[in-house]
Amino acid sequence: MTEVQKKQALTTEETKESESVDLTNLSDTMVYSEIYNMMMSPEDYIGKTITMEGTCAIYEGDTADEYYYACIISDATACCTQGIEFVLADDYTYLEDYPDEGEKICVSGIFDTYKEEGYTYSVLRDAKIMSACD
């Protein structure tokens, strides 16, 4: 492998690493801080794969068949919580395919934002629920 090829391989590997954010190995305080950063500067995270572990929360929308699912985390003292909405990849149905409210989950998806009724929300698109975070 030439020096140029080595440099290109290293750059490709650095790009891959910078395209994903694994929150599963961080302390509670660091996870909370990183999610705070995502909420304050979402443009820095759009398109990155985010993997996180937390508690499943389900929120009802304005219509009877509208639900929002989120992975919620707490800070180290459990006084403050933050989370990110997720939308599972493929065609899933509420209750049958999604985790139960309060269930501990590990979710991975592509970070994105969307606007609804004048507000900007963060979401993990094409998300997958994993049985355990490694």
Return the H-helix or E-strand segment holding 87.
strand 81-88
Provide the 8-state DSSP code for 107.
E
Mean pLDDT of all residues in the chain?
A: 83
Sorted by where each begins, the domain ranges of the chain are 21-130
CATH class of 21-130: mainly beta
**Whose structure tokens read 């302390």?**
27
Question: How much of the chain, in percent, has pLDDT values that exceed 70?
Answer: 82
pLDDT of residue 134: 59
**Whose structure tokens read 């660091």?**
30
pLDDT of residue 12: 36
Lowest mean pLDDT: which of 9-18, 25-34, 42-51, 125-134? 9-18
Count of positions (residues) in the chain: 134
Q: What is the pTM of this model?
A: 0.79
